[in-house]
Amino acid sequence: MNLPVYMDYHATTPCDPRVLEAMLPYFSQQFGNAASQGHAFGWHAAEAVKIAREEIASLLNADPSEIIFTSGATESINLAIKGVFELMAGKGKHIITVATEHRAVLDTCGHLEKLGAEVSYLPVQPDGLIDPEVLRSAIRNDTILIVIMYANNETGVIQPIRTISKLARQQGIFFFTDATQALGKIPVNVMEDGIDLLACSAHKIYGPKGVGALYIRRRNPRVRLTAQMDGGGQERGFRSGTLNVPGIVGFGRAASLCQNEMEQDVKSISRLRDKLEKAILNLGGTQLNGHHLNRLPTVTNISFAQGVGNQLLKNLLKVVAVSSGSACSSASPEPSHVLKAMGLDDKAAYHAIRFSLGKYNTEEEVEFVIQRVRLTLEEMNSEMVHIQDGLKT
Ligand SMILES: *Cc1c(COP(=O)(O)O)cnc(C)c1O
């Protein structure tokens, strides 16, 4: 067993070796530009991109022509929200989103507010779920876009996507979902789920970093948006720039592996997650954050009575790679905005740890982590008793 044990799969995943193998030729022999239509180097690259586009479309139940490649979910989110806002500016400027969204969504909305957008940030219930009635009453005549993530990166909480999409469709409002965490863990189906736009990323599904996709519905309804990157007109003009062919090939391979193996993989990951979670919650002084059923099978988010500020817990984090708060904002010591939106006080939010598991975790690793958490909590408790004794005398 290698230390530290990696339990931060929601931050990023390693490339599956089969993904890496598929990518390698496109860095060297097959180096062509997919936009070079005049020779075989270009044709080979274009063919590889075509296959990858089909693999990703198939995983989402989309048409390949509805997939736009980007540099990652952050770019896809920017393109979707800014692109729809810009194109629809004449029709309305109201956007609805949720307080627990990823920073990429919240900060993009914040940017648009400076440009005249009006944004409603819906609250969530203590379990992290939105109340569809609250969404319904937030809809206005000038609402152009509803932005609600499929599953939360910190807690794994899965929003009622089909209820949301039905509401949006009835009112003629586009529905955009950030499915970066849901993809590869639970079935995501743009047709059955009624999704108009969807963002996802390769490096969360055992693909490479720096490549993502935006699904843009072409029929019933046809979604239109303004490009945010101008240039050579690649990706049907929605996203100019030479395609990252090796990255796209890796993304495609990762998607097809997901499609074939996800069910099996997730079964064993969720068994490990359940074992870890049950053991930690049994230790006392701990609390599970987020709805315990409507959530991804790969993650457990737990608040400790005494938190990460504690030296003993810091020691634990040296042998277990996890996140306290969101990985994306953990450079700043701010308590998680997601947990605070769920009603946790600063202390409980600050003292939360996210264990996110993946397909390379083993039973042995889970047992090791349980053991270490148990020891740490015992040490912290006896430390507390010492402090209390000291105060008494
Ligand atoms: C990781 C993540 C992102 C950002 O994805 P990048 O491809 O790293 O830009 C966005 N949303 C969610 C929910 C994520 O987990």
Ligand 1 centroid–CA 158 distance in Å is: 16
* Rounded Cα–Cα distance for residues 182 and 4 (Å): 26
Phi/psi at 125 (5° precision)? -80, 170
Residue nearest to ligand 1 atom 10, measured at CA: 73
329 falls in which pLDDT band (50, 70, 90)? Answer: very low
* CA-202 nearest atom, ligand 1: 7
Are 319 and 372 in contact by the 8 Å Cβ rule? The answer is yes
- State the pLDDT at residue 310: 67
* Options 3.30.360.10, 3.30.830.10, 3.40.640.10, 3.40.50.1100; CATH of 17-257: 3.40.640.10
Query: Mean pLDDT throughout 347-371?
Result: 94
* 328 catalytic residue (yes or no): yes
- State the pLDDT at residue 151: 98
* Rounded Cα–Cα distance for residues 20 and 64 (Å): 23
Q: Would you tell me how many other CB atoms lie within 10 Å of the CB of residue 120?
A: 17
Ramachandran bin of 194, using left for φ above 0, alpha for ψ from -120 to 50, beta for the remaining angles: left
Tens-digit pLDDT profile for residues 55-110: 999 999 999 999 999 999 999 999 999 999 999 988 999 999 999 999 999 999 99
Angle (CA) 210 216 218, round 5°: 150
315 falls in which pLDDT band (50, 70, 90)? Answer: confident
- State the pLDDT at residue 327: 39
Residue ranges of the chain assigned to CATH 3.40.640.10: 17-257
- CATH superfamily, region 5-11+262-392: Aspartate Aminotransferase, domain 1 (3.90.1150.10)
328 falls in which pLDDT band (50, 70, 90)? Answer: very low
**354 exposed, middle or buried (CB, 10 Å; 0-12, 13-18, 19+)?**
buried
Tens-digit pLDDT profile for residues 246-282: 999 999 999 999 999 999 999 999 999 999 999 999 9
* CA-328 nearest atom, ligand 1: 1
One of 15, 109, 200, 328 is an active-site residue; which one? Answer: 328
- State the pLDDT at residue 391: 62
* CA-11 nearest atom, ligand 1: 1
Residue 153 has pLDDT above 80, yes or no: yes
Residue ranges of the chain assigned to CATH 3.90.1150.10: 5-11+262-392
Q: What is the DSSP string of 348-369?
A: HHHTEEEEE--TT--HHHHHHH
Tens-digit pLDDT profile for residues 102-144: 999 999 999 999 999 999 999 999 999 999 999 999 999 999 9
The residue that leads in pLDDT, 188 or 317, is: 188
314 falls in which pLDDT band (50, 70, 90)? Answer: confident
Phi/psi at 291 (5° precision)? -55, 135
Distance of CA 58 to the CA centre of its chain: 19
Ligand 1 centroid–CA 11 distance in Å is: 8
Ligand 1 first shell, C-beta below 6 A: 72-74, 102, 104, 149, 153, 178, 180-181, 201, 204, 212
* Rounded Cα–Cα distance for residues 95 and 105 (Å): 11
